[in-house]
Amino acid sequence: MGGLSSVPADGTPVRVAVISGRSDAWTRDKAVPVGVVYLRRTGPSQVVALHSVCPHAGCFIDYQTDRKAFFCPCHDSTFAVDGSINDPRSPSPRSMDTLAVEVRGESVWLRFQNFRSGIPAKVALT
Ligand code: FES
């Protein structure tokens, strides 16, 4: 989905579009954007992915470089750079949702999923 070199080495999150395409013996789907995530490097070849959709009610979360924190403008949830809730007044019922990531050489791959909002548990939508 993207190159490792495009993820800042200093741990600053970068927002990237997730492109999904599927092909098998019978079908070949066109690659289309399916969502947006934040990628953050936690080591030379380690990357974590955070879903950009707020677990509270589904708005998009911004990363504010000046505050070095994530912020959801809909109801003022704030999250630390690792995606954890960093203000007890945040209405989000859980931290930002993480996604499974695999780094293969220079390529970053992830298993993109959406999750139910408004509940404390991280429950994938099917
Ligand atoms: S949707 Fe993000 S704080 Fe409500």
Domain contains 120: no
- Which residue's CA is the nearest one to ligand 1's atom 1? 57
Q: Would residue 121 count as lying in a domain?
A: no
pLDDT at 107: 93
Quick check: is 58 in a domain? yes
Choose which residue among 51, 60, 74 to substitute to test ligand 1 binding: the one with the highest number of ligand atoms within 8 A of its C-beta. Answer: 74
Cα dihedral sign for 20, 55, 59, 46? Answer: negative
Asked if residue 74 has its Cβ within 6 Å of ligand 1, the reply is: yes
The CATH number for 68's domain is 2.102.10.10
pLDDT of res. 23:
67
| 92 touches ligand 1 (CB under 6 Å) | yes
What is the number of the ligand 1 atom nearest to the C-alpha of 54?
A: 2
Domain count across the chain: 1
Asked whether residue 10 is assigned to any structural domain, the reply reads yes
Domain holding 92, by residue range, is 2-111
Q: Answer yes or no: are the C-beta atoms of 20 and 74 closer than 8 Å.
A: no
Q: What is the pLDDT along the chain (126 residues), one digit of tens a residue?
A: 568 999 999 999 999 999 887 767 777 777 888 899 999 999 999 999 999 999 999 999 999 999 999 999 999 999 999 999 999 999 999 999 999 999 999 999 999 999 999 999 999 998
Strand runs (DSSP E) across the chain, as ranges?
2-3, 14-20, 32-43, 46-51, 62-64, 69-72, 77-79, 98-104, 107-111
